[in-house]
Chains A and B, each alone.
Chain A
Amino acid sequence: MMQKLLNFSEKTGLTLLIPIIKIIMKDEPEKQAKELLKLILLPTLALSIFFGLWSLASTRIKTSVGALPSPSYVWFQAKAMAADARAERVNKAEFAFYEKSRAILSGLLTERQEQEAAGKPTEASDAQRTAFVGDLQGRVDELTSDIKILTADVDAAHIAATAAGITDRRIEPYKTNILKFYQDAQYSLTSLISKNTRIDTAIINLTSGDEKKRKLAARKRTAYERQLSKPRAYSGNGSILDYVKRSVVTVLFGFFLAAVVAVPLGILCGLSKNFMTAVNPLIQTLRPVSPLAWVLITIQIVDGVFVGEKALNGELINNPFLHSAITVALCSLWATLSNTALGVSSVNPDYMNVAKVLKLNWFDRIIKIVIPSAIPFIFTGLRITLGVGWMVLIVSEMMATSRGLGWYIDQQYQNNKVESLANIIVCIFIIGIIGALLDRIMFILHKTVSFNDDEVSA
């Protein structure tokens, strides 16, 4: 068990775990304790120097938007962003509740119309609707009392902050956000209830009063019922979690595209010297092109293909998503291409001799010998590709306005204030951590597929 854990740590490069496990296994505990201390102390030292310098810089450097945010300010903003993300979840839930209620109410109203048309009694469905609206009112009451509590909390926090002289950062970001979302939800639900009431009034007015009044009532009823029948799409602004998710999905999709193009092409290049000679000048010319240039041409091409009715308008898969994913692919595929070609062309001739002795046909040689033997090379390439792709992604999202981390950073930059600068720094850390994680995953995959451990370096 422990040995397995040890192997795992070694395989995944979790060097910090190794001495801990060894201590538990009582394998030279003293030496391991020293090792552990070193593994903890040295990075801590480096980090403290880093943060120290940063703190110092933040007191000295004035940007055009204000002082450079200090580490503690950035940490505060990170928490505020996390609060935004949690609040966003609440907002989504409230929206889903509204949308469900609207659909039910609309269904009941349609049912009533059908009953009217068929000359059937409507009492039962009216009662059902009244009961449902009663439930909605219950939810509104809940929200109202929550809002009261939250308002009190937020006010108290503001007063406390004023006393402490804090004005330059957001106070109680989570509660403030939730408060706004609850108010929106309360408003939407109340509006739903009030529409129902107005429809009821209109139904009564349909049969009473003068002609003008009756006509207005009919018009109102149709208008309201029609309005209620139209589904709403979520129109919130999303949170850092959504941006991270989108960025990761984009980079993985771009990575997939890169692999799908680069591996077969690389195999062809490796197999055929003529093919390599033919495409090499093109490869050498396109490889160093900056993502900033690629993205512009990608935008035009994608928008030329997916245009008008064919435009992709999904929440995730839309044109900007393709712009950035394709840019990622275009900038990152080269490492996989050249490594695959190298791997294929440098197949150990002994393996090929074996293939000859076995009289493997051309296809079997490719499938059974060439490709498997090139796999470590291919994975070396893929690992570089993913790393390059992640770096390129941020800038391509900025340019393509695909709503991932790059877009968010650009938006924050445009907000032009210290708070947004801090948000950008938070994003930088998020980008770094995700990049490191992706690389680690590729490292483990690479290790698993390689025949010789020495070939893979962390």
Chain B
Amino acid sequence: MNAGNKQTALKTALAAILAATLPTFGAVDENTIPLDVEKSNLHFGFIKLTDCAPLVIAKEKGFFAAEGLNVKLTAQKNWVILLDNVIKGSLDGAHMLAGQPIGATVGVSQKAEIITAYSLDLNGNAITLATDVWEQMKVNVPADANGLPIHPIKADALKPVIDHWEGDFNLGMVFPVSTHNYELRYWLAAGGIHPGFYTAADAQGHTDGDVVISPNAPPLMPSYLNSRAILGYCVGEPWNQKAVLAEKEGQQLGVPVVTNYEIWKNNPEKVFGVTKGWAEKNPQTHLAVIKALIRAGKWLDASIENREEAVDILSRSHYVGAEIEVLRNSMTGTFVYERGDRREMPDFNVFFRYYASYPYYSDCIWFLTQMRRWGQLSEDKPDHWYIETAKNIYRPALYMEAAQLLIEEDNLSEADIPTGTDGFRPVTGAGDFIDGKAYDGHKPNEYIQSFTIRAD
């Protein structure tokens, strides 16, 4: 980091402290009419990733308190333990991978009925490869006038490297039902690299693969990359930017080659999940939580100053805990691929814009199609099964109820919510997916059939 950067870092830190000192009290709960919550002391879990931000902000900026919710947030060791704790009831709810409530409900992972009424964010992931791998594939990537690689970079460029690779080409992802797993596979498959199938006998998902993809804890990915246990990974922030800032033999440890925004523009990422039983037992509390989260999401996308403040809060040791610079790299509208190659990416982390927090059925169905595509779901199902399953897990009605209350309180405007939607996003356009495929949530089977690499 150069001296100029240091100065800005300090200035922003100062600004954040000063901003927090301003007498903003009263503002947050001014108009809120708190609900009659069944449970006011709540305990939520999260994983140390920037997209836990809506939960952290709802707590730190008083949105939870405004609803009369006293929330304790605890970082969880990994996604399995997090989900376990939610199922067991030692957590009331948690920051979850979008695939987790779905996987749990259809029985791909731990079996339990988990629902979600709030999407935490869009995008926010990237695929990082070890620097030496990148050096080898770089020759296959077209460059612009300045000699910088033209993005999005497709896996076609990686294929020759893998074809000539000696030994296993190990890649890390976060969790078998995580967005990262599907995005990594999607990107590889779009470039003709077979990522491997899950079968009844192969729960690891290595069957027929050109590469070996295995799950690892997100914060440990840079360490594993450093020890060459893996040659690349797909993970959320800040762990891609960490690879840029970390050093190995005088070079950056790894190079993020593609963001998931480039794989699927505005793809859903994390959700706030609770068990169905909890939601039935605490309906008002659930509603109050969603109210607070909507406001937190809106706050996060309201201004760059808010993002700076969020970075400051997230860098605290008991939240994400990474260095401010690492967090800022992705949270404030830019993304660094290689050192010196910082690009504008205003939509890398979206918490609220594009109705990001509304839980679309079509998002849920996309994950189900991927579970089918990679063999986690071993049988073909009719389209209506996909839609019914999605309606069981995703609860946009609850989101709308919370949003309406906020609108009544003047804490939200009509324009912030997708009024009149049937719960499905419009069919994706040609430039949305990296392979140009059109996705219509109403027709999952047609979508699955359109892929050449897919499980029987």
- Chain A positions within 8 Å of B, measured between CB atoms, are 62, 64-66, 147, 151, 154-155, 158, 161-162, 165, 167, 176, 179-180, 183, 186-188, 190-191, 194-195, 219-220, 223-224, 226-227, 230-233, 235, 237, 303, 307-308, 311, 313, 318-319, 398-399, 401, 410-417, 419-420, 423
Take A194-B26, A401-B77 as given contacts and tell me if A183 and B20 are in contact as well, using a CB distance cutoff of 8 Å: yes
Closest residue on chain B to residue A418 by CB atoms: B323
Take A147-B21, A411-B75, A420-B321 as given contacts and tell me if A232 and B41 are in contact as well, using a CB distance cutoff of 8 Å: yes
Q: How far is the CA of A411 from the CA of B317 in the complex (A)?
A: 8
Closest residue on chain A to residue B247 by CB atoms: A62
Q: How far is the CA of A318 from the CA of B90 in the complex (A)?
A: 9
List 17 additional contacts besides A194-B25, A401-B76, A416-B242; criterion CB under 8 Å: A64-B246, A151-B18, A155-B17, A158-B13, A187-B62, A191-B62, A191-B65, A219-B33, A223-B35, A224-B34, A230-B68, A232-B70, A233-B72, A399-B77, A411-B75, A415-B317, A416-B220
* Contact between A401 and B81, CB atoms less than 8 A apart: yes
Take A64-B253, A151-B18, A410-B77 as given contacts and tell me if A416 and B33 are in contact as well, using a CB distance cutoff of 8 Å: no
Name, among B34, B223, B226, the residue most crowded by chain A CB atoms within 10 Å (CB to CB): B34
Q: B389 near A: Cβ within 8 Å? A: no
* Contact between B68 and A311, CB atoms less than 8 A apart: no
List chain A residues, Cβ under 8 A from B188: none
Q: B217 near A: Cβ within 8 Å? A: yes
* Contact between B26 and A414, CB atoms less than 8 A apart: no
9 residue pairs from A and B, CB less than 8 Å apart: A62-B248, A64-B246, A187-B25, A187-B62, A191-B29, A194-B26, A235-B72, A411-B75, A419-B317
Q: B219 near A: Cβ within 8 Å? A: yes
User: 1/0 contact trace for B7-38 toward A, CB 8 Å?
Assistant: 10110011001101100011001100111110
* Contact between B89 and A311, CB atoms less than 8 A apart: yes
Residue from the list B9, B35, B223, B226 in contact with A167, Cβ < 8 A: B9
What's the minimum C-beta distance from B396 to chain A, rounded to whole angstroms?
26
List chain A residues, Cβ under 8 A from B318: 237, 411
Closest residue on chain B to residue A198 by CB atoms: B30
Closest residue on chain B to residue A176 by CB atoms: B17
Q: How far is the CA of A158 from the CA of B17 in the complex (A)?
A: 11
List chain A residues, Cβ under 8 A from B89: 308, 311
Q: B372 near A: Cβ within 8 Å? A: no
Residue from the list B14, B37, B70, B223 in contact with A64, Cβ < 8 A: B223
List chain A residues, Cβ under 8 A from B26: 190-191, 194
Q: How far is the CA of A158 from the CA of B13 in the complex (A)?
A: 9
Closest residue on chain A to residue B81 by CB atoms: A401
Q: How far is the CA of A155 from the CA of B15 in the complex (A)?
A: 10
What's the minimum C-beta distance from A321 to chain B, rounded to whole angstroms?
12
Q: B88 near A: Cβ within 8 Å? A: yes
User: 1/0 contact trace for B299-333 toward A, CB 8 Å?
Assistant: 00000000000000000011011110010000000
Q: B48 near A: Cβ within 8 Å? A: yes
Closest residue on chain A to residue B227 by CB atoms: A64
Q: How far is the CA of A62 from the CA of B89 in the complex (A)?
A: 42
* Contact between A158 and B70, CB atoms less than 8 A apart: no
List chain A residues, Cβ under 8 A from B62: 187, 191
List chain B residues, Cβ under 8 A from A162: 6-7, 10
B247-299 residues at the A interface, CB under 8 angstroms: 247-248, 253
**Chain B residues within 8 Å of chain A by Cβ, number:** 56
Take A167-B10, A318-B90 as given contacts and tell me if A415 and B21 are in contact as well, using a CB distance cutoff of 8 Å: no
* Contact between A311 and B226, CB atoms less than 8 A apart: no
* Contact between A235 and B71, CB atoms less than 8 A apart: yes
Q: Top 4 closest A-B pairs, CB basis?
A: A415-B321, A235-B72, A64-B226, A414-B219
Name, among A194, A219, A399, A414, the residue most crowded by chain B CB atoms within 10 Å (CB to CB): A414
Q: How far is the CA of A399 from the CA of B322 in the complex (A)?
A: 22
Closest residue on chain A to residue B321 by CB atoms: A415
What's the minimum C-beta distance from A115 to chain B, rounded to whole angstroms?
23
Closest residue on chain B to residue A235 by CB atoms: B72
Residue from the list A64, A161, A183, A423 in contact with B21, Cβ < 8 A: A183
List chain B residues, Cβ under 8 A from A62: 247-248
Residue from the list B25, B48, B70 in contact with A414, Cβ < 8 A: B48
Closest residue on chain A to residue B35 by CB atoms: A223
Closest residue on chain B to residue A401 by CB atoms: B77
Closest residue on chain A to residue B42 by CB atoms: A235
List chain A residues, Cβ under 8 A from B77: 398-399, 401, 410
List chain B residues, Cβ under 8 A from A307: 88
Q: How far is the CA of A158 from the CA of B11 in the complex (A)?
A: 9
What's the minimum C-beta distance from A84 to chain B, rounded to whole angstroms?
8
Closest residue on chain B to residue A407 by CB atoms: B77
List chain B residues, Cβ under 8 A from A414: 48, 75, 217, 219-220, 321
* Contact between A227 and B68, CB atoms less than 8 A apart: yes
Q: How far is the CA of A162 from the CA of B223 in the complex (A)?
A: 31
List chain B residues, Cβ under 8 A from A313: 90
Q: How far is the CA of A167 from the CA of B30 in the complex (A)?
A: 38
